[in-house]
A and B are shown apart, each in its own frame.
Chain A
Amino acid sequence: MKNMFNIDRQVEETMRSLDGMQSASPGPFFYTRVMARLESSQKSIWENISAFIARPVVAFAVICLVIIMNTIAVVQNKEAAPFFADQMEQVTEDDLNLAVNTFYDYEIKEP
């Protein structure tokens, strides 16, 4: 019983040990050290550019832009497709004819 009372007293005293504590301060010349760190963290322009490009938002935006431009290109090509198909037809008929024509073919008159 006495031991329990003693422990409770210890706990209460420990809980009160921070009462009236003073605020802690950093060492002298703190600002100088902050400035030194700030200067060392200032990156060159190329480092800044590469860091900007590597940002997930920027990378995602660039990927979206490429996809959109590709989609536009595909849609525009589809619209122009009939003309392209006609051309292909002509090409296959006129130029890709594998039959070998000799002058006999032209001379033969059908009855």
Chain B
Amino acid sequence: MNNPPTDEWFLIEQLRLRDESAFKSIVARWQDMVFNTAIGIVQNAEDAEDVAQEVFLQVYESINTFKGESKFSTWLYRITITKAMDHIRRKKRKKRFAFMQNLFGSDNETLYEVPDFNHPGVSLDNKERAAILFKAIDQLPENQKIAFTLHKMEGLSYQEASEVMNVTVSAMESLMHRAKINLKKYLEKYYNNSSG
């Protein structure tokens, strides 16, 4: 059992009593962490805001299910990842549906290409390269994408990220290794095509 620090535990206990100021403190304390994780996965600021709001609604509604068996931040990361992945799946479904509609001519709306994602935390001179890398990250399998986001963008250690993903540290290392190989393959193909 991993008991949270006293002030964190106090906030959790107060939230269980539906104390609004405790909820406000929790949102203020973890909003950046939740938003940054969400934006890394969904790669769109508006969608990330939407996901972050859903995460805190879930926290408010199901705080009683948090037993303190993991860190509160780990629990929050797990909710964020689940919500973000659900959001992506919903969006893909909508996109497929729109494509089918377009194919059968029942909808005259044109399908627009998704614009490049510019992460607000990336420095100006790296923006262009980072946008290409984000395109590559979006092509990764789900678990590699989550592992890469937690380690590279959230700055979690392999140990912390493995706790969030509920895998062993060696499994986490393997996920990161495969993610890097896949990213390099994508980038090589990208630069080969653009230079040829």
Contact = CB atoms under 8 A, between A and B. Distances in A.
Contact of B191 (A11, A17, A26, A33): A11
A82 interface: no
Interface in A1-36: 3, 6-7, 10-11, 13-15, 17-18, 20-27, 30-31, 33-34
Given A21-B153, A24-B119, A14 B35 contact: no
A23 B188 contact: no
A94 B191 CA distance: 102
B76 interface: no
Interface in B29-73: 31-33, 35-36, 39, 45, 48-49, 52-53, 56-57, 60
Contacts of A27: 49
B61 to A, nearest CB: 9
Interface residues of A, number: 25
Nearest to B56: A34
B188 A34 contact: no
A38 B49 CA distance: 14
Nearest to A25: B32
Given A13-B129, A15-B133, A30-B31, A22 B52 contact: no
A24 B121 CA distance: 5
A18 B42 CA distance: 16
B39 A7 contact: no
B31 A20 contact: no
A36 B162 CA distance: 34
Interface in A32-83: 33-34, 37-38, 41
Contacts of A22: 120-122
A24 B53 contact: no
Given A15-B133, A18-B152, A38 B57 contact: yes
Contacts of A26: 31-32, 35, 48-49, 52
Residue among A3, A13, A30 with most chain B CB within 10 A: A30
Interface string B170-196: 000000000010011001100110010
B184 A6 contact: no
Given A14-B187, A23-B33, A25-B32, 16 more contacts: A7-B192, A13-B129, A14-B132, A15-B180, A18-B122, A22-B120, A22-B121, A23-B36, A24-B32, A24-B48, A24-B119, A24-B120, A30-B35, A31-B28, A31-B31, A34-B57
Interface of B: 24, 27-28, 31-33, 35-36, 39, 45, 48-49, 52-53, 56-57, 60, 119-123, 126, 129-130, 132-133, 152-153, 180, 183-184, 187-188, 191-192, 195
4 smallest CB-CB distances across A and B, nearest first, come from A22-B121, A17-B129, A17-B126, A17-B130
